[in-house]
Amino acid sequence: VTQLEQQGAYAAKSAEEAAQGANALITMLPAGKHVAGLLSGPDGLLAKLHKNTLVIDSSTIDAETSRAVHAEAKKYDLLFIDAPVSGGVAAATAGTLSFMCGGSADAFEAAKAPLSAMGANLFHAGPEGAGQVAKMCNNMLLAIHMIGTSEALKLGEKNGVDASVLSEIMMASSGKNWSLEKYNPYPGVMPASPASNDYKPGFMVDLMTKDLGLAMDNAQNQNSATPLGALAYELYKQKQANGEGARDFSSIIELIDALPRSDK
């Protein structure tokens, strides 16, 4: 904020002050209770915005809360869109984030300009809450293939296969995936990765565990089977219990290495 002030921006003293007279409002908060607390109710920001104001919530929260806030925004004739992001710190810095958006076609169209200033990929996932659903599905899959990549690299290591060589082989084969290509969990394979920098985040274990929890709650509500997602959630909760919540989520490879050997 200080850097922005030095470049001529004004730092509001409160969220309410920041929203006064705004044509667009963007929020990014830790959990659904924070989003609802800020936006909803007679004292929330939605009640104080002008008609047709664009509201973009880029928090990663449960779809149920997001849909409730959508419904309240509609009462005030606001354009509301849930637009959680993917890409991490590097993409945020480069302005190449992916936004997964849920809401009306009109709201998505209005959101394109501000979101394009921050991201390279804008997706209209569907109606209210669909952005949150897309984000939780993506991150559940991310956790699963990070764990699978870690298992494969550790199994190769125990058989004397160099992790860099094995990574190159799998990148040219059917095992290729984002974790292997962009975020290798094995130290030294990618010099700029968290794995090669003592697992400094990056994307923290705490955040991955939170997102997996959202996915598991939604899966239960929708009666959808997620056996691998549930296992990934348990493994990341174990990382948290070990006091490693602030480490990068790719450090799951250390837990994989410490687990008992597989039964035949």
DSSP β-bridge partners for residue 204: 248
Integer Cα distance of 136 and 62 in angstroms: 9
- Phi (first) and psi of residue 101, to 5 degrees: -110, 140
* Cβ atoms 201, 167 nearer than 8 A: no
Our answer to whether residue 210 is catalytic in this structure is no
Residue 210 corresponds to which tokens in the numbers above? 């939170």
Measured from the Cβ of residue 212, the count of other Cβ atoms closer than 10 Å reads 26
Longest alpha-carbon distance in the chain:
65
Q: Where are the alpha helices (DSSP H) in 9-162?
A: 15-19, 32-39, 63-75, 88-94, 105-116, 130-158
Provide the residue type at 104 as one letter: S
Residue 173: in which H helix or E strand, if any?
none
* Active-site pick, 13, 33, 48, 135: 135
Residues in the chain: 264
* Active-site annotation, residues: 135
